[in-house]
Structure 1
Amino acid sequence: MLKKFNYVLAFIFSILLIQASPAFAQEQNAGSIAGKNTITVSAADSKAYKETYTNLLAAITSFKDTASFPSQSISYKQVGTIINDVLNDHPEIFYFQHKGTTAYANGKIELKYKYPVKKIKEMVLKQDTKIKTIIKQTIKSTDSEFDKVKSIHDYIVLNTAYDWENYQKGQVPDASYTAYGLLMNGQAVCEGYAHTMQLLLKEAGIESHLVTGKANGGVHAWNLVKVDGEYYYVDATWDDPVPNRAGEISYKYFLTPAAALKKDHSWDEKQFPAATSTKYAYFQDIFSAKELGTYMYFSNNKDNQKLYRMKKDGSEKKKLLNVSTPYFVLTKNNIYLSNYSNGGYLYQAKLDGTQLKKINNIHSIDLYLEKDQLIFTNKATGTKGSVKIK
């Protein structure tokens, strides 16, 4: 009995070692995640690793109580890392529980789950239905790989709020770390964003990988994706403003090469294919973007957030307004903006940038449209105001 008890303690300790928990916070986004680990095995042991991985995946997705591993080739201390690899590769598994899962020297693994099996099956069905609905709504049969990645990135950013309030309290719920929580609740931290990207891209037929590392010194998670034979990094979390701003989306971390991402992210690049293409580097200029017709309107990161317009392929790029424009909305005829080159006051201009004129004397932020009203927040008082628009 003492021998079994010691094995249990040793395994639980190894599980704790592979679950990174340092909190990460920075001005725009934050997150805490479980770190990916890699077992270094000999050629002979690689077969045992694959066997263990396959056994675990089959057992967990069938909600079995036990799984097995070849104890003559792999130590029970390595099982925790293989479990992590299974979970990192399969973000649809939101219901597995590390705590209480136990590996024994005889090759047996006792598995634990967060919920009763009946409830898990109901939740999995809801998740599968949601995924299929999103793909049907966002992806067309004629879409290119680029179109698919952009549509999924945009869906996640526009339909998710970073769980900032709970993060600040140190009370982030388990759901916010999972794709299930993001899909069902519209709320997540970085691991939830990255897992959801991975899950939806897989459903759309796009190769992607979960990447874990650090960003601005804190633990973080994002994705590596393959588009037309080239690899790029995508950080959907950092493309979503915090606190949440409905309808706002950034592309600074969309389809970036490794060299650009390394400015504020760090990770073990050797674990992943090289990402060197700069084909989509023009997206890194885009801070806040709106689409209308064939054009993207955006605040330019590299030009003091001046308002620009271009097509999705980067062509026809043109500066529309020579004023700093971090907040703006579009109608079929006009642009309404917070002019940060003049007190943040509300301005109006035509879609081509002409006829710029001031329409209030209030520092206005968080703009959005509601029927025939332009709603804004008074930066000084925090109260909402409105302007009737045509």
Structure 2
Amino acid sequence: MKYMIFAVMILFTLAACSKESMDQQVNSNQIENTPAVEKKASYVIEYVSFAEGIPDYSMDKGTFSERMKDENYIRKVYGEMFEVYTIKELKALLTKQLHDFDKRFLIKIPEVEAPIEQIDTILYDIIHENSMIAGTLLLTDFTYENIKDATYLSFENLFTVNAIEMAAIQPKIEEILQSLQLEEKNDIDKLERIHQYILDHMIYKEGETVLTDHSPYGFFINGEGVCQAYAMALHMMLEAVGIESLYVVGDIAGTGDDDVLHAWNLVKIDDIWRHVDPTFNDDGEPTRFFMKTDFEMGFTHVWDQTKYPAASSI
């Protein structure tokens, strides 16, 4: 029998996105000729010994093995137990449950040697392939154990937003888009109007933050937040008008501080990808990081370019 606990922290959702630190980096006198992205790699997921913020529901319920035999416990804690047989099925199920903001779910894999060592890679790929997950998942913690002829995976997740809050956001998006009168506009006009609306109606949250400051709820309902709220607001409204967008995870180049993490957007206009950073455009210079190539963004931003489409020069 094998029993292990892993915790995977999605680090960028804790980012301070300090505008002051960014302003120090974009001083034209300090910019070198080589984009920073060539100098430094960025990795989003790392193992930690324990993910604080996720309550333990199993301390007084016996061993993991005993809990898996208790149908009442499974029904009460997880609702149901999912069963998958392949890596493809596992990835699809994880994607669905995380996209649905499922705080707790249980998966059974009917083989003793389940691909536990691949889960961190699977999660890493899921995050970079699904902007809604990347922009809302704060922590994910999983426990696994081999019991007889199967492996059981128990996931505990913490999100910056929940399904009820998301339901409140949707009518707000529709209201905003209707007010912008985008029906007869081309994609670049739509992007410019949505981007400017965010700059006009968002207050950057300085100092100590709470979960909603990192979520789209922060913008759409409270009108304030940090880089994640800016980027998710732009992503969700662009997707709503049919413009392809990606939530980008990275950090600020040259700070020497791995905690100064950041989020912005890649936007596809006329089949060409370009970077847009609404957070740092909300500082009196709305086009400073608007429709920029990888090379242009690389002087001040760092991201894993292998996980995102290229924003190259034509």
Tell me the residue number matched to 2:201: 159
| CA distance in structure 2 between the aligned counterparts of 1:216 and 1:96, rounded to whole angstroms | 24
Tell me the residue number matched to 2:277: 235
Aligned with 1:212 (options 236, 244, 249): 249
The yes-or-no answer on 1:195 pairing with 2:240 is: no
Structure 1 pair 188/71, CA: closer, same or farther in 2 (3 Å)?
Answer: farther
Within a 5 Å distance, the mapping from 1:91-240 to structure 2 comes to 91=132, 98=139, 101-105=141-145, 106-113=151-158, 120-164=162-206, 166=207, 171-217=208-254, 218-240=260-282
Aligned with 2:11 (options 19, 27, 48): 19
| CA distance in structure 2 between the aligned counterparts of 1:92 and 1:131, rounded to whole angstroms | 18
Tell me the residue number matched to 2:92: 54
Q: Contact (CA 8 Å) 1:65, 1:110: kept in 2 or not? A: yes
Q: Partner amino acid for 2:225?
A: A
| CA distance in structure 2 between the aligned counterparts of 1:263 and 1:114, rounded to whole angstroms | 31
Gaps of 5+ in 2: 24-41, 47-84, 146-150, 255-259
Tell me the residue number matched to 2:307: 271
| CA distance in structure 2 between the aligned counterparts of 1:64 and 1:173, rounded to whole angstroms | 18
Q: Deviations over 1:292-328 (max 9, x none)?
A: xxxxxxxxxxxxxxxxxxxxxxxxxxxxxxxxxxxxx
Within a 5 Å distance, the mapping from 1:272-351 to structure 2 comes to 272-277=308-313
The yes-or-no answer on 1:76 pairing with 2:102 is: no
Give the superposition deviation at 1:22: 6.6
Q: Partner amino acid for 1:68?
A: I
Tell me the residue number matched to 1:262: 298
Structure 1 pair 277/264, CA: closer, same or farther in 2 (3 Å)?
Answer: same
Structure 1 pair 257/113, CA: closer, same or farther in 2 (3 Å)?
Answer: closer
Q: Contact (CA 8 Å) 1:257, 1:275: kept in 2 or not? A: yes
Give the superposition deviation at 1:177: 1.2
Gaps of 5+ in 1: 39-46, 242-247, 279-390
| CA distance in structure 2 between the aligned counterparts of 1:70 and 1:196, rounded to whole angstroms | 37
Give the superposition deviation at 1:267: 2.1
| CA distance in structure 2 between the aligned counterparts of 1:69 and 1:133, rounded to whole angstroms | 43
Report % sequence identity: 25
Give the superposition deviation at 1:251: 0.9
Q: Which has the higher contact order (CA 8 A, sep 6+)?
A: 2
Q: Which has the higher helix share?
A: 2
Q: Deviations over 1:27-76 (max 9, x none)?
A: 2759xxx96469xxxxxxxx955422321233341747414375868633
SS in 2 for 1:184: helix
SS in 2 for 1:52: helix
Give the superposition deviation at 1:122: 3.0
| CA distance in structure 1 between the aligned counterparts of 2:185 and 2:114, rounded to whole angstroms | 44
Q: Partner amino acid for 2:220?
A: L
| CA distance in structure 2 between the aligned counterparts of 1:67 and 1:186, rounded to whole angstroms | 36
Instruction: Give the number of equivalent residue pairs.
Output: 244
| CA distance in structure 2 between the aligned counterparts of 1:231 and 1:95, rounded to whole angstroms | 23
Give the TM-score taking structure 2 as reference length.
0.65
Q: Partner amino acid for 1:76?
A: I
Structure whose CA Rg is larger: 1
| CA distance in structure 2 between the aligned counterparts of 1:67 and 1:139, rounded to whole angstroms | 45
Q: Deviations over 1:244-300 (max 9, x none)?
A: xxxx5511111111222122222232322221247xxxxxxxxxxxxxxxxxxxxxx
Q: Partner amino acid for 1:19?
A: L
Structure 1 pair 95/214, CA: closer, same or farther in 2 (3 Å)?
Answer: closer
Q: Contact (CA 8 Å) 1:212, 1:222: kept in 2 or not? A: yes
Give the TM-score taking structure 1 as reference length.
0.54
SS in 1 for 2:184: coil
| CA distance in structure 2 between the aligned counterparts of 1:220 and 1:96, rounded to whole angstroms | 15
| CA distance in structure 1 between the aligned counterparts of 2:261 and 2:152, rounded to whole angstroms | 33
Give the superposition deviation at 1:208: 1.3
Q: Contact (CA 8 Å) 2:246, 2:267: kept in 1 or not? A: yes
SS in 1 for 2:291: coil
SS in 2 for 1:237: helix
Q: Contact (CA 8 Å) 2:142, 2:156: kept in 1 or not? A: yes
